[in-house]
Structure 1
Amino acid sequence: MVDITSAGAPTRKPFVMRYPSVAIFLAILSLFTICVTVLGEGFGIGVVSTSFIKTLGKTLCLCLAALAMDLVWGYTGILSLGHMAFFGIGGYAIGMWLMYARTEVIVRESLSAAALPPTPQEISDGIATQIFGVVGASEFPPVWALAHSLPLQMAAIVIVPGLLALVFGWLAFRSRVTGVYLSILTQAMTLALSLYLFQNDSGLRGNNGLSGLQNLPGLEAVPQSKISILFFWASALALGLGYLLCAWVVSGKFGSVMRAIRDDESRVRFLGYSVEAYKLFVFSFTAVICGIAGALYYPQAGIINPAEVAPIASIYLAVWVAIGGRGRLYGAVIGAAFVSLLSTWFTGGQAPDVSLGFFTIQWVDWWTILLGLSFVAVTLFAPKGIGGLIDRFTEHRSPERHGADLGPDAGALREKEALE
């Protein structure tokens, strides 16, 4: 959209003004963040508990992962059942530094009373024994070589998921694997990673995972009520920037090519576009987004283990996007927030059991069945998801052309005829 200034020179409106839905989303997210901060225990009046603020912060991270899933599936047509693997890799990357730095503080304090100052090797051995003693080891595996450095581990949050997605995507897309076969391959990749992490010799403590991630080094005196708010702010900021970036990607020519690949990949290739390059970029880009989301999620969860990387987690992610409405960024956010919060309510024992006389429905056990039925119902009866309901209320009317041609040629369909 172009405006004409007083001098006659055309000016282009800012991106947010050209796409009101983006401005509305950012405004709602900002208002939500302010309200939670005011109602929270850390900096507010204490109406909202710290545990629930952590739940809300984790939900925002899941919404960011859902945005990535919508970009790769809803807009490009790649049903990936492995994106939560990248989410988990981001969590492991930041978790390694958190666990190393926190353990270093404990070891230094315990060795400070010794007659002689501890050597760097003694400190390193003490940290390794503390971390890996649970799996019967006392040395750092090679994967922990950079765990002492926060900048390097933060770089790993972006580089490792992006590089893994780049290699996997290059092998898959150059072979033109599509459809259900590609979905199975992504699921197999996730399963292989999960099984590897379950092994004690993986270097990541096997089934025990990484724990104590909520304890931030150097902030031991800061209560969890304030730390939870800080992470909540970071999660909200990441979601806002992620939404803005994803909206920018899908709004231009690149987004048009993505939709064209989703609708008819062969025709796009016939027109001369490098389909594989587009798919590879989207796959790697969304993997990085998931890695960042995971790095913000697990310090709020406090623990990460291989079960978080299991294929079922990626299937849940696809279900959230489908229920929210794929092909709509706000639909992905709504679906992830709605289902994850509802899941917390049902599985947390807050939902009352339903007695049928001969049988009692306990939602902790029946929630996954309800979620599966909801997914089937949405697929059959509401393929546009919750986002489709919003589209009905915000549907644009036909432009007021007052009988002008609706096409590029004279005699094209006119407004009155189009409305009949």
Structure 2
Amino acid sequence: MKNTFIARHPSVLIFLACLAVFTLVVTLMSHAYGTGGLSTSFVKTLGRTLCLCLVALAMDLVWGYCGILSLGHFAFFGLGGYMIGMWLMYARTEIIVTESLANSPIPPTAQEVQDAIGTQIFGVVGSSDFPLIWSFAHSLTLQLLLVLLIPGVLALVFGWLAFRSRVTGVYLSILTQAMTLALSLYLFQNESGLRGNNGLSGLQNLPGVSAGQDAISVWFLWASALALGLGYLLAAWVVSGKFGSVVRGIRDDEARVRFLGYSVEGYKLFIFTLTAIIAAIAGALYYPQAGIINPGEVAPIASIYLAVWVAIGGRGRLYGAVIGAAVVSLVSTWFTGGLVPALNLGFYRIDWVDWWLVLLGLSFVLVTLFAPKGIGGLFDLVTDRMAPNRHGADYGPDKGSLREGEGQE
């Protein structure tokens, strides 16, 4: 038992237990399966927050552990949403069109049904033809595969080109941001095949499911919690052992790790691609709960927010990234939802809806200057107090190295 992964990393079990308790409490307080103490809209907010925690986890893995400050990971998040949104919109429109044509004197042909679906979806951009990228929109299985393949292949190609050229630091960050901007500008065009600025809407309705939004919101909460739990377990496994040590070594001294004979580019490419897929899964669960996705969701500013969440929560700590995303997301909902009354200073009225981004930026600056370990660093205060009083000189330069008395045992 002492050699099992969970036994060697008890924090993983604690996190999974807390996540399970949270999911159970929300379920028992929902309208569909509990007392109704939580509104359906707030259950959806909590479900979306879990998805944001998952993409923050991916960001912490690529930035906090591997040292790659990617300002484009929200692009993969958005692509995951677009891939599942295409099936949701197609299947829902197909049901509407089929029902409307059912009473026609002459039964419609398959081509007429297809044309009617195309007109319903793309009429807003002046078209009725299905673009090539919608070739698999009729199949849920294929679109789920595309959720993984499209962001994964994009990350693989981009990472291979960038890492083989040994682009690092701020230059790599600028490249990832440029990739995100290019994708956002492309999606804004009507010719993109994804309805341009209008985006995809009506995603909150599950085709063929008669259950109401009360039940659907809880189902997505369960799916989001399961994805976050599995993602946390996977991330913890990746950063443990020899592989995790090499990844952290790349973050701290990439040249030295390369000198030792490790394929730095291979490690970085694996982490970059894996985290892109995790981000896409998070997006595929997020946007059906949001109900709509448009190119603005893929804008570079969203990826910058993502880095801010991780920094506030505590970079290089998996639980820190989750805490940061959860806290900022819920506080943002509180401030921007009009729940906080305006503050009238007499000479000026502070509307928190307008001032929220200022508070977020100020929080980021304060955390960077005075608490670089973020919110997650508060747990160090507890663990340091619980640690035994160890005496003797360190055998190694790192905190936690063996000391003289322990080395003789």
What range is the shorter-chain TM-score in?
over 0.9
User: What's the counterpart of residue 399 of structure 2?
Assistant: none
Q: Which amino acid aligns with 1:379?
A: T
The aligned runs of 1:82-121 (5 Å cut-off) are 82-121=72-111
Counterpart Cα distance in 1 of 2:34 and 2:289: 19
Preserved CA contact (<8 Å) 2:27 2:34: yes
Q: Name the SS for the 1:46 alignment partner.
A: coil
Cα shift at 1:14: 2.3
Distance 1:57 1:182, change over 3 A: same
Distance 1:264 1:344 in 2: 39
Task: Write the letter of the residue equivalent to 1:180.
Answer: V
C-alpha distance in structure 2 between counterparts of 1:351 and 1:378, whole Å: 23
How do 1:228-307 residues align onto structure 2 when only pairs under 5 Å count?
A: 228-307=217-296
Residue type at the aligned position of 1:166: L
How many aligned residue pairs are there?
Answer: 402
- Following the alignment from structure 2 to structure 1, what is the Cα–Cα distance between the partners of residues 355 and 165? 41
- Residues 1:166 and 2:183 are matched in the alignment: no
Helix, strand or coil at the partner of 2:319:
helix
Corresponding residue of 1:69: 59
Q: Is the 8 A contact 2:184 2:295 kept in 1?
A: yes
5+ residue gaps, structure 2, are: 397-401
* RMSD between aligned residues: 1.8
State the partner residue of 2:167.
177
Residue in structure 1 matched with residue 323 of structure 2 by the alignment: 334
Corresponding residue to 1:45 among 28, 35, 56: 35
Normalised by the size of structure 1, how large is the TM-score?
0.93
The residue that corresponds to 1:126 in the other structure is 116
2:325 is paired with a residue whose SS is helix
2:176 corresponds to:
186
Deviations along 1:71-100, whole A, 9 cap, x unmatched? 000000000000000000000000000000
Deviation at 1:114, TM superposition (A): 1.1
Quote how far apart the aligned CAs of 1:13 are. 3.1
Q: What SS is found at the alignment partner of 2:347?
A: coil
Q: Distance in 2 between matches of 1:108 and 1:18?
A: 56
Q: TM-score, normalised by structure 2?
A: 0.95
Measure, in 1, the Cα distance between the counterparts of 2:2 and 2:403.
Answer: 30
* Distance in 1 between residues matched to 2:259 and 2:386, nearest whole Å: 35
Offset of residue 392 of structure 1: 1.3
Contact 1:406 1:415 in 2 (8 A): no
Report % sequence identity: 73
In the aligned structure 2, how far is the partner of 1:234 from the partner of 1:398? Answer: 37
Contact 2:391 2:403 in 1 (8 A): no
Q: What residue is the counterpart of 1:13 in the other structure?
A: 3
Q: Is the 8 A contact 2:74 2:279 kept in 1?
A: yes
Partner of 2:197: 207
Q: Which amino acid aligns with 2:64?
A: G
- Following superposition, the deviation at residue 371 of structure 1 comes to 0.4
Unmatched 5+ stretches in structure 1? 1-10
What does the per-residue CA deviation read over 1:89-141, in whole Å, with 9 as the maximum and x for residues that have no partner?
00000000000000000000011111222111111101000000001001101
**Poorly superposed stretches of 4+, deviation over 4 Å:** 396-403, 405-408
User: Structure 1, residues 357-407: CA drift from partner, whole Å, max 9, x if none?
Assistant: 10011011110011001101111110000000112112376668898x975
